Structure 1
Amino acid sequence: YYSIKDILGFVLMFILLATLALFSPNLLGDPENFTPANPLATPP
């Protein structure tokens, strides 16, 4: 009984992780990565 519950938990967590990674991969990303680069200014 417990192994069925554990397998169900692993499958649900894998589905959640897969949907997050495949459908919205930039959701948890750093917003600094989306600012366009300025070639005239050096980064700090």
Structure 2
Amino acid sequence: YYTIKDILGILIMLMLLMILVLFFPDLLGDPDNYTPANPLNTPPHIKPE
């Protein structure tokens, strides 16, 4: 009984994860990825020597 319940729980969790990843991939992303880049200046995390 517990084996069937465990397998069913794992399958449901995997299905929920796959739905989240495949249908809504932007929910867990970094919002900085959507800021447009400016090619004329150096990003602040790059320090000149």
TM-score of the superposition, structure 1-length normalised?
Answer: 0.92
Give the number of the structure whose residues are more often helix, by fraction: 1
Structure with the greater alpha carbon radius of gyration: 2
**Cα RMSD, aligned residues only:** 0.6
TM-score of the superposition, structure 2-length normalised?
Answer: 0.84
Count of residues in correspondence between the two structures: 44
Structure 1 unmatched runs, 5+: none
Moved over 4 A (4+): none
Structure 2 unmatched runs, 5+: 45-49
Q: Percent identity?
A: 68
